Structure 1
Amino acid sequence: MTGTNWKNVNNWHWVEKNCLPWAKEYFTEKLTGAATEKGDVKVSIDEVRDVTGDVDLNQRKGKIITIFDVVLVLGWKGEGYGTTASGKIDIPEYMHDTEVEDIVFDISLDSPNAEREKIKDVVRLELTKVLREKMTPFAKDLVEAHVKDVFIAPEEMKGHPVLKQYQPKPPAPAQTTATSTAPSTKGGLTSIKQSIDFSASPADIYETLLDKQRVQAWTRGKAEIGREVGSTFNLFDGNITGIIVELVPNKKIVQKWRLKTWPAGHHSTVEMEFVEGSDKTTLKVTQSDVPASEKDMTEKNWQNYYWNSIKATFGFGGR
């Protein structure tokens, strides 16, 4: 895409990639062989027979958008109760806005009898749980596999013409005193605590918060961030800045963090702790030294501009 970067300066224009061929390979690889058992009954997916529909990755104004609506047909087999069984699973609709627990599985049985119906029940009650788990990361994996084809990182713009109105503004001179309209700490300082569930591993969330390319995807713009203790970060056109204070890979991030509108020189401390669960990661966030007058707005901004955006961009939606 580098050769045509000048045509899509600052990722302004709509860019779309058809990812259905990739999706067919993805589901075939992920779902074939999926298996479980209950008692003496063993069931598994022996083939992905068909994947049809639309799978597109889009970019507009720096925003990465996943749009998909697919129909899947799977073949299953099982054994137990002294016999074998086989059949088909139809997934009539799997869309970008479908919650994984809402996926519908229509299960049919070849040559039914009483024993085979019992095997089919294990498919319905147990194998579908495995399928849901394997389908959960699809949106995230779709973005990771194809984001470079639709999103141009700012550093790749070098050497290409940039429209004047989109040139970065020089940093504003440092203020020595807070202006009369800036929030004051005179009303006191307070703390914010949030707990956010993501359908992703701690490593995925850790990378999403520190990897520059990923950060630029969910902030929808240019971002500066590093992985070294003592390095600075700059997000949302300078509205959020700070310093990395402590890093424990996949476990903890500590930052000195401030909003541009806060009194000059005042930083809060943000500690993010990653707690791994059986099917999710819980991110526990504690932010101290927040100007009391800014607490409500800061809480909303975390939710809207960080957590909701990350979930929408990478498909990390927690339950």
Structure 2
Amino acid sequence: MAKWGEGDPRWIVEERPDATNVNNWHWTEKNACNWSVDKLKELLTNFRIESEKAKCKITEVEKCEGEAVANNRKGKLIFFYEWDLTLKWKGTLKGSESSVEGTINIPNLSEENDVSEVDVNVSVKNSDPEADKLKEFMYREGSNYIRKQLGKYVNALKEEFSKGMILPRKEEVKKQSVNQDGVASLSAGFTKQVHVNYIEKEKCGLKIDTSTVKTSHKFQCKGDEFYNVMTTVELLQAFTRGAVKAEIKKGGKFELFGGNIHGEFVELVPNTRIVQRWRLKQWPAEHYSNVTIDIDQKEDHTQVSLTQTGVPRSELDLTKENWDRYYWDSIKRTFGFGSFLV
């Protein structure tokens, strides 16, 4: 999936011979979801916990819901993971032939919590003296062993997804040569050469074909809470997970996602409306769209409607997708604005 700022020809062809991420400045991301599910199942399924008191085994990873990604931002690796696990287990007390079955729920395996702080909630199918003893054993002793396995997952995630994320800086690779025809020869990381003709669209007088993005989302919060998220530097930093520059006033400038999104505030109506001149760095120079965010507080939720005009048609689908992922979904996840009672 393309990221904010990915694909900008001004830094792809001019700086890196393999056409990627100059000086590790831009945000790059690797999806670690499928790998994580497999790794967690590998570490936990059939994992045995034994002592002089009891023998227990995790028989199945019944639920493994969440996500994991590895990011490189300005040469710094950032790992995000959040998992809700349900495990099935069974065990016997030493000297007993009766088997007890139960479940373990781990709701908060995430980068926000140290592995030692992860909750390990133990339950049994049927409560009787033996089952209660085994439940106590799994809670008091077994949980520590389970946390160690989860620690192995975290270490493996960081080791596996650190590979290839920090790329050579531009001064570490050979300078590209440009011939008299204005054609750059770039080493593409393979044995052949890639030839790229430089064309500045703005100088060619090309008209930009634009369209409009319209989206609407429900948030489980008050209107002023959503407005504050979009107009408070600390809260902007929280859901964008990076440094933010913003002058929250009419005519004030803003930069998000390492400068890949920037613009200025055109109108600020507290708790009701935000209007911005907004552009993605990879768009043609000086081309801005107009973003209007209307905030409508209902009785039990807040309806947020976005209208963005002037989006280059070739960027339409990607822009909508990135609003959903990097703004709305991230806001819901970061501040808990996405939970509705049914």
Q: What TM-score do the two structures reach when normalised by structure 2?
A: 0.43
- State which structure, 1 or 2, has the greater radius of gyration over its C-alpha atoms: 2
